[in-house]
Amino acid sequence: MDHRILGSLLLMASLAAPTAMAQRVPLAQAPGKDMVEAACSSCHSLSYIPMNSRFLSPEVWKAEVTKMRTVFGAPIDDDAANTIIGYLVSQYGAPKKP
């Protein structure tokens, strides 16, 4: 292959990479979304939320947020935690088992 073509292909690939890495995870539009995006994206991807939504009942979401705060040190105060849990449970809570 012509080296100039190969070179420009590589350049294009490297320009495209950062955009692909910093992928935005679109969360459901609901009250508390901004807070969740601010509080939950600093350590890991927001994709953890939809990814786990199939398994997490309200109690477990509550425990998750508590774990993020106590075990991992997420700087979230009680008020924020309540808003965040409300959002997660309503938008990403697993359906109740019969």
Region 50-89 residues binding ligand HEC, contact defined as CB under 6 A: 52, 64-65, 67-68, 72-74, 76, 84, 88
CB 69 within 8 A of CB 44: no
Per-residue x/- track, 28-47, ligand HEC (CB under 6 A):
-----------xx-xxx---
Q: Does 27 engage in binding with ligand HEC (CB under 6 A)?
A: no
Q: Distances from the Cα of 6 to the Cαs of 9, 17, 30, in angstroms?
A: 5, 17, 46
* Residues in binding contact with ligand HEC, number by CB under 6 A: 18
- Cβ-based neighbours of 64, under 8 Å, separated by 6 or more: 52, 56, 88
- Cβ-based neighbours of 28, under 8 Å, separated by 6 or more: 91, 92
Of 14 and 42, CB closest to ligand HEC: 42
Positions in the binding site for ligand HEC (CB under 6 A): 39-40, 42-44, 48-49, 52, 64-65, 67-68, 72-74, 76, 84, 88
